[in-house]
Amino acid sequence: MPGKLSRGLSVIHKCSDPSSSLYCSALQFVDSDLKYIGTTAPPRYQCLENAVMENIATGCTVIFGEELRQLFLEAEATKMHMHDWWLYLLASAFGNVVFDPEHLVLYRRHQDTVTGLQLKSSRTLMARLKGFWGFIFNTRQLYGLSQAVIFGKTYDSRLSPEQQKLFSQLHRLHEFNHLWDRINFAARSSVLFNDKLDNFAVRLLVLLGKY
């Protein structure tokens, strides 16, 4: 949409360190005839604890600085589940994330589209319960965990001790999946989804050994 790039650049240049900042914005969903469907729900969390679990930075909306670009190039592209998600991980771990609630991109959503993006207008209880069961049976969530483990290994020497602790917990869960690791994760992990039901769902899946 008009003004997307200029607005994004203006926002990112206002950051304390534009070079390590990531800008992303909300989306306006349209159907195959470009008729309005809804907009993305603004995220409650924009942090590493969220980035290891889900992505809020849709690729067609992002603008990022040179430092993030250099860090991105250090990784093997074939090991990334989603490139925009990897950028969100980088900015959350080593920089700054700015989410613009202004929807500056039209995102065509077909009837059979499978996407984790949530519409602001679909936050009814029934819609959220439907999303909960979709989460439970969506094996794509496993890719998020494996990607987080690879990310932790790739940038381990750059991570803070607290960040290393988070990735170590995810690594143990992914590689060994012992009962105690699952209980410890469900009870004490700091990971965050933007939807409370998803937070419950992932802990349930972990306890059941399904994540």
User: If you average pLDDT over each of 84-98, 99-113, 163-177, 186-200, which comes out highest?
Assistant: 84-98
Amino acid at 28: Q
Same domain, residue pair 27 and 82: yes
Q: Is 149 helix (H, G, I), strand (E, B) or coil?
A: helix
**What pLDDT, on the 0 to 100 scale, is given for residue 95?**
96
Percent of the chain predicted with pLDDT > 90: 47
pLDDT in tens, 116-155: 455 554 455 555 556 555 555 555 555 688 899 999 999 9
Q: Rounded CA gap, 207 and 142, in Å?
A: 14
pLDDT-based confidence at residue 114 (cuts at 50, 70, 90): very low
Q: Are residues 97 and 26 both part of a single domain? A: yes
Do 101 and 134 share a domain, yes or no?
no
* Boundary residue ending a domain (75, 108, 141): 108
Whether residue 151 lies inside any domain: the answer is: yes
pLDDT of residue 201: 80
pLDDT at 15 over 90: yes
Q: Is residue 113 part of a domain?
A: no
Q: How many domains does the chain have?
A: 2
Same domain (yes/no): 15, 104: yes
The residue behind tokens 């993030």 is 68
Whether residue 174 lies inside any domain: the answer is yes
Instruction: Write the CATH number for 12.
Output: 3.90.550.10
Indicate whether 96 and 156 sit together in one domain: no
Q: Do 39 and 133 fall into the same domain?
A: no
Residue 120 domain-assigned (yes or no): no
Helix (H, G, I), strand (E, B) or coil at 179: helix
Q: What is the pLDDT of residues 23-64, one digit of tens each?
A: 999 998 888 888 888 888 889 999 999 999 999 999 999 999
CA proximity to 117, closest of 33, 55, 63: 55
Residue 118 domain-assigned?
no
pTM, 2 dp: 0.85
**Other beta carbons less than 10 A from residue 108's beta carbon:** 12
Last residue of some domain: 73, 108, 143?
Answer: 108
Look at residues 43, 77, 108 and tell me which one is the last residue of a structural domain.
108
- Percent of residues, the chain, with pLDDT higher than 70: 83
Residue 17: band (very low, low, confident or very high) from pLDDT cuts 50, 70, 90 = very high
* Over residues 160-176, mean pLDDT: 91
> Could you tell me if 16 and 89 lie in one domain?
yes
Full residue range of the structural domain in which residue 152 is found: 125-208
Of the candidate ranges 45-59, 83-97, 195-209, the one whose mean pLDDT is the lowest: 195-209
| Together in a domain, 133 and 99 | no
Query: Is there a domain that residue 8 lies in?
Result: yes
pLDDT at 42: 86
Report yes or no on 115 lying in a domain. no
47 within a domain of the structure (yes/no): yes
Together in a domain, 80 and 153: no
